[in-house]
Amino acid sequence: MGDACGIGPEIIAKWWASGSGPAVVVGCPQVMQRAIGWLGLADQLEVVHLRAVAQYAALGSRQMGVWMPPGLPDDLLAAPVGQVDVRAGKAAAACIREAVRLAQQGQVAGIVTAPLHKEALALAGEPYPGHTELLQAEGSPAGQAPAPVRMMLANDQLKTVLVTIHVALRQAIEQVTHASVLETIRITHDSAQLWGMPRPRIAVAGLNPHAGEGGLFGDEELTIIGPAIEAARADGIDASGPYAPDTVFMRARHAPEHPGEFDVVIAMYHDQGLIPVKYLGLDQGVNVTLGLPFVRTSPDHGTAFDLAGTGQADEASFAQAAHMARVLVAGRTVRSGG
């Protein structure tokens, strides 16, 4: 459901009303009913509080099955719409944990997360800066170290995977190591095979302007990134670079008049990789977490507090996220023979 004070419930309701296909909303039935009312869809959608997840299969196309997780605040509806609130943060975290549990038990095929607010998450006492890190922790077997994951933002024209995610830029630079770059390349390669790419063309961006200009503007390309690429190539991975960050995304972009030279670009830090994808259109971008034992996608925008409760939020990115989740689930099913 995402943050109850943001646009998550509304975009879910809009998507559902457009003919979503089989799905279960993990969230608060009352919050979802309120969103449906804001949208004027009360005569088209009926919220059904599920007593068992499997009950969704018996619902009609205009019935929205909502599974309520434990831990939701009793006064969640009192949280002010369009504002950061600790109750919304607690609810968002509870929904994520329950969705992971359902995925691990095989009760759902994949997870599509509506936007949460990182400040609300922090107010709720969560030690995780965002969805990705919380999913990583919850998706790991008890007693084991969290499996390495990576964030990918994708649309029909460009796919970008990040070496570092939600940290300060100074920390991100320090976290660009031979091991982290190589691990990102490997995770990207293995994940892309699930999309039907047996040998994806992976471009690796440099860290510095002009990819360091031969060491003139920094030597990370020579001492860290380049050697990691060579190690990946030794594993049989089609990785190349490091390329100048200000041009590699244009080279990788798939457009009718310009087929891309690469299937995916690996970026060193958050803004380096996400600005190019988001510039192409927020309504088409999808956030995918690579490396999890289950499929997880989300829209590439935030909670949009300024639009919450107005019914004006665009559900297109959420719809794309749901579509990609089903594509990835199908890919895993085919590969596993299930």
Contact 202, 239 (CB under 8 A): yes
Burial (CB < 10 A; 0-12, 13-18, 19+), residue 4, is buried
**Strand, coil or helix: 287:** strand
266: closest CA among 292, 240, 289, 297?
Answer: 240
Q: What are phi and psi of 224, to 5 degrees?
A: -120, -60
pLDDT of residue 112: 97
- pLDDT tens for the chain, 338 residues: list them: 999 999 999 999 999 998 877 899 999 999 999 999 999 999 989 999 999 999 999 999 899 999 999 999 999 999 999 999 999 999 999 999 999 999 999 999 999 999 999 999 999 999 988 888 899 898 877 778 888 999 999 888 999 999 998 899 999 999 999 999 999 999 999 998 877 788 999 999 999 999 999 999 999 999 999 999 999 999 999 999 999 999 999 999 998 888 999 999 999 999 999 999 989 876 778 999 998 888 999 998 899 999 999 999 999 989 999 998 998 888 765 454 44
Give the integer Cα–Cα distance in Å for 5 and 307: 10
Per-residue model confidence (pLDDT) at position 336 = 47
Q: Give the pLDDT of residue 282.
A: 65
Contacts of residues 13-22 at CB distance under 8 Å and 24 or more positions apart, as own/partner, are: 13/39, 13/41, 13/45, 13/64, 14/39, 14/313, 14/315, 15/315, 15/318, 15/319, 15/322, 16/45, 16/64, 17/41, 17/44, 17/45, 18/315, 18/319, 19/61, 20/322, 21/326, 22/56, 22/57
- Residue 338: its pLDDT value, please? 47
Residue (of 321, 237, 270, 299) closest to 160 by Cα position: 270
Which has the closest alpha carbon to 23: 323, 280, 301? 323
Handedness of CA 315, 319, 322, 328 (dihedral sign): negative
Helix (H) or strand (E) holding 186: helix 178-193
| β-bridge mates for residue 31, sequence order | none
Segment (H or E) for 266: strand 264-267
